Chain A
């Protein structure tokens, strides 16, 4: 197909021809085109179907405010729905599809909805799909979901990279039209660090769309020269294709740079889009203004456009929607469009101006005091019907109709911190209000200054003012300075199916209906009618809706108010917000010192917080994880096992008040702990609930090593710093997290001492007498390597924990394995660790679950009453100390083989099973190879006095009932003989 509606001139590179496809048909375009301009040039006006009625729709605007021409761009896993054709930069090989139509854009089956529009009015869903309730999920919702919606997702993973970055500047200028360019020049020449961001791929804003001159240059040439000068300034950074999406706190702006959207293929490793966080000392909004339409009957046909868009397509993109055009306006700017189109050879059928005193023109007809009252054309405009000032009607034969209802300053970003815009009755538009985000100023059309001269002047003046520049400012070129002349006019009287919001199919009739039904607040109007929702957020439609609503309520527009503007200014792909933080990179992965060794052994890993820990080490022939875990437990209890416990938090506590400090953070006493000894410590929250547990070893009078659980390492460190800095600021104590500095391994089992004897240097006595249970100390291993040894046991066996500097962790593990061969040493993972601690009755995260107290855990007497510690006072509250308080118990099935399920609740042996008869619950469960039975830990009311009692373990959700016996939590070696051996 040839470019039948291509005009002369424009900022396109005719020397190069680009091929693109729309709905599987091939077309040609030129560099500088957008998808919308190229389609128009090729004679394609129909670009989509509307949301609700599936009406044929074309392009309305030439910018990011576009409600209609939204397409699915690219194909396969790069398919992106709801892309605005008006901002899609043309590249060779571009492929796009129209949306929301079936089977084709020209014949859409659901266009039948349009015939039933009477029933599809505002609030249709709320009114119609009410009952029967059962129909909602099964019938109504699937049906509505199929029919509604715009584009579709590829349902495949997006293969492209997105990135995030940070930038800093003295002055961020948002928008590179006349005011933005002048502001950048003023600030740039003065030496300030400037960022000039604009959503368009060509800087210059409306200057690229106009035919007037600035000084001796055409507007576009002048803009080009400015950009050239600014590019040469090292302190000015130009950011085209960058939309500033939000004004956040303290001068921080969010911006999305589309670095790759205009390329057929991305260079390897380059991101498609970058989300910038721009830290600005000051910011200047030069975002210009958006033209608004006038509503009239059937104003949504392809070919009906904003007049300024028609002008942009003609002047900048050298394309037109048709060869015959009409203009419908309430202001002088509409006449400028007519003149420009006429100069380009487009036949101006008539300019329909609602004002009786419309300017006269001798080259084409001006119909003063007239209005467009209807249009015709099935898939695009063919005729427009005009009601003349004398009441008679006339039909205009035209394929394009430019509509101008005046201009709205782009105040969006000025309202991002709950500021409200102010009404300007001269412009009949909202302008930025008084309470702007701190540090933000506004210049040019965005501030309500509508002439080019005023924009240039305010750009330079605002920049000078915010930067407090002294001396002379850049000279301004001569530019048009026409006053705004318009008569506010929102919709043609008597119209009903006149579209206010084309994206959401909201008509004048819908707004009237919502008023009739009592919706008075603009926010309610928006939600009820969906006016101003979805991808364009009502950039072209809100004002019309508001004006109509104000009129119906008999109020002024400013009294009616606006809905709240929220970031982002234009839609942002979720991928851009995610950046590189997706998949494996969603959070950092922490590897233990023995990780690569464990990987070689074929370990199965589990994520614990950010850590990857070995869960078990399967051997060849083992087909079920239980086989591996059971073996690891048996072998450890029979001989010796090794487990990496580096992930437990380690906090180094030093200072003359170190012991006193631990006395405050642990509920049990630490002041009298001897040097060379370790003690179990229980930390409470201030409300008396347990926070965490671990051990503290005293390596010297003023030096302790505290361990925390893996999960709470970060939180406990934070808490300890809080206690140190905020509660006891004069204590002589210092804290540092050494979790990653030391590789630490548990060596457990009856042969653990024999194994360690081969590792620990001979001058250190690790016999039971020389290094008894709960001893700790600095030692050396393997011939002089500094190490720490703790005789602590989580498994209940004779056990040690040995720590070496992390970089030796891998070597130590390999040494333990090779030296342990004669003892049949086994590495064990977190599963075996968990089984053994349940067998031993040690509480862990499942028991320290944020609801349990020391009393519940059977450690009530540990809470010292002789000292002040965090949580000790509130742990004494009556409610936490009732006679039938929950106590930790062991649980065994009555019938061998029955399974214990964590999360199950304990009920009496007979009687009802309901919440009122709930007596406790199971927190941990495992199969115990040592007992050859499933076992569990849990909490039971007065559990400590109920050992031997038979109960039912129930889980009504999974229909589970198991007969269980309440036993001591210490299943293995209750007297603790093994660990003291």
Chain B
């Protein structure tokens, strides 16, 4: 597979390490009312779609960016690659 890194251009997937569902960015607030349940969902429950999937890849053999890659799990077509940091910020994460 080839991943089109937003900063470095197209790179072979062998330079990357796969983590999994990009929902790992949505870490719950530890002080929220049902934090324990929310963390349980966060840590254990994942969708397993046949089709578009947003997932985290780490450019270990490169610039060490975490990327959010939108990949079709059936065809391996990659439709979008973003810096995970930008995605996290867009979702309101900060410090």
List A residues at the B interface (Cβ < 8 Å): 249-252, 279, 417, 438, 657, 660, 686-687, 714, 718, 721-722, 725-731, 868, 872-874, 876-877
Contact = CB atoms under 8 A, between A and B. Distances in A.
A725 B1 CA distance: 24
B17 A718 contact: yes
Among A660, A718, A731, the most chain B Cβ lie within 10 Å of the Cβ of: A718
B interface: dominant SS: mixed
Contacts of A872: 30
Contact of A726 (B31, B85, B95): B85
Interface in B49-75: 56, 58, 60, 64-66, 75
Contacts of B83: 725
Contacts, number: 80
Contacts of B44: 687
B48 interface: no
26 contacts: A249-B1, A249-B76, A250-B78, A251-B2, A438-B77, A660-B95, A686-B43, A718-B58, A722-B58, A725-B88, A726-B25, A726-B87, A726-B88, A726-B93, A727-B27, A727-B88, A728-B95, A729-B89, A729-B94, A730-B93, A868-B30, A868-B31, A872-B30, A873-B28, A873-B39, A877-B36
B88 A729 contact: yes
Interface residues on B, range: 35 or more
A250 B1 contact: yes
A718 B64 CA distance: 8
B65 to A, nearest CB: 7
A721 B27 contact: no
Contact of B93 (A251, A438, A718, A728): A728
A873 B93 CA distance: 19
Contacts of B94: 728-730
A721 B76 contact: no
Contact of B30 (A718, A726, A873, A877): A873
Nearest to B93: A729
A722 B39 contact: no
A436 B27 CA distance: 40
B43 A874 contact: yes
B88 A721 contact: no
Contacts of A250: 1-2, 76, 78
B66 A726 contact: yes
A560 to B, nearest CB: 25
A728 B30 CA distance: 14
B60 to A, nearest CB: 7
Among B39, B76, B85, the most chain A Cβ lie within 10 Å of the Cβ of: B39
A417 B76 CA distance: 10
B75 A725 contact: no
A64 B93 CA distance: 58
Contacts of A714: 60
A725 B35 contact: no
A731 B95 contact: yes
B29 to A, nearest CB: 8
B22 to A, nearest CB: 9
A954 B93 CA distance: 51
Given A718-B17, A731-B95, A868-B30, A726 B36 contact: no
Contacts of A730: 89, 93-95
A31 B94 CA distance: 72
Contacts of B95: 657, 660, 728, 730-731
Nearest to A664: B95
A721 B66 contact: yes
B93 A722 contact: no
Nearest to B67: A725
Contacts of A728: 93-95
Nearest to A718: B58
Contact of B64 (A417, A721, A729): A721
Contacts of B19: 722
Nearest to A723: B27
Contacts of B66: 721-722, 725-726
A438 B78 CA distance: 12
A554 to B, nearest CB: 33
Given A721-B66, A728-B94, A731-B95, A874 B27 contact: no
B88 A873 contact: no
A874 B77 contact: no
Nearest to A728: B95
A872 B60 CA distance: 27
Nearest to B22: A726
Nearest to B90: A729
Q: Sorted from nearest, which 6 A-B pairs have the closest CB atoms?
A: A868-B30, A730-B94, A250-B2, A249-B76, A729-B88, A729-B85
Contacts of B40: 874
A438 B79 CA distance: 14
B88 A874 contact: no
B93 to A, nearest CB: 6
A714 B85 CA distance: 20
A529 B88 CA distance: 55
Contacts of B28: 873
A246 to B, nearest CB: 14
Contacts of B87: 726
Nearest to B86: A729
Nearest to A248: B1
A703 B91 CA distance: 29
A726 B35 CA distance: 19
B1 A874 contact: no
Given A279-B2, A873-B35, A725 B77 contact: no
Contacts of A438: 75, 77
A669 to B, nearest CB: 15
B75 A417 contact: yes
Nearest to B25: A726
Among B27, B60, B95, the most chain A Cβ lie within 10 Å of the Cβ of: B95
B75 to A, nearest CB: 7
Given A250-B1, A718-B60, A726 B84 contact: yes
A800 B39 CA distance: 40
Nearest to A736: B64
Contacts of A873: 28, 30, 35-36, 39
A726 B56 contact: yes
A721 B83 CA distance: 13
B85 to A, nearest CB: 4
Contacts of A726: 24-25, 56, 66, 84-85, 87-88, 93
B36 A874 contact: yes
A667 to B, nearest CB: 12
Given A249-B2, A728-B95, 15 more contacts: A250-B2, A251-B2, A252-B1, A718-B60, A721-B58, A722-B66, A725-B84, A725-B88, A728-B93, A729-B89, A868-B30, A873-B28, A873-B35, A876-B36, A877-B36
A230 B78 CA distance: 35
Contacts of B27: 686, 727
A580 to B, nearest CB: 16
A471 B29 CA distance: 63
Nearest to B35: A873
Nearest to B19: A722
Contacts of B85: 725-726, 729
Nearest to B36: A873
A326 B7 CA distance: 66
A137 B69 CA distance: 49
Contact of A874 (B39, B65, B93): B39
Contacts of B78: 250
Contact of B65 (A279, A660, A725): A725
A731 B31 CA distance: 20
B5 to A, nearest CB: 14
Interface in B12-44: 17, 19, 24-25, 27-28, 30-31, 35-36, 39-40, 42-44
A279 B9 CA distance: 15
Nearest to B27: A727
Nearest to A714: B60
Contacts of A687: 43-44
A661 to B, nearest CB: 9
Contacts of B76: 249-250
A672 B10 CA distance: 44
